Amino acid sequence: RKEVEQDPGPFNVPEGATVAFNCTYSNSASQSFFWYRQDCRKEPKLLMSVYSSGNEDGRFTAQLNRASQYISLLIRDSKLSDSATYLCVVNIKTSYDKVIFGPGTSLSVIP
């Protein structure tokens, strides 16, 4: 089983739609959680960190459920510019910091 798993996608949604991505992680030592977005042939860029209390940044809302080892990202009012691959990233803090990437979920927002 992979350490970080995501919805396989791709997600094709019309402009203005609400879309939710799910991510699960297997290592209970995981302590920090992030969503990155990666545009085609570009580097990953931090979208938002994910906190237990949940956090919102404009149209984006991230939630963390430590008990279920589950992370989500909700995008409201999708824009064409939201089209990208969304990467769930988990930081496991043991002796070292170890960063594990999920495989990503591709989103295409259609006019």
Partner 1 sequence: EAGVTQFPSHSVIEKGQTVTLRCDPISGHDNLYWYRRVMGKEIKFLLHFVKESKQDESGMPNNRFLAERTGGTYSTLKVQPAELEDSGVYFCASSQAYERRNTDTQYFGPGTRLTVL
Chain residues in the site for partner 1 (CB under 8 A): 2, 4, 32, 34, 42-46, 49, 87, 91, 93, 96-104
Residue 4 or 75 having the CB closest to partner 1: 4
Residue 17 or 55 having the CB closest to partner 1: 55
Least distance to partner 1 from the beta carbon of 99, Å?
6
Spatial neighbors of 23 by CB under 8 A, at least 6 apart, are: 4, 5, 6, 7, 70, 71, 72, 73, 88, 102
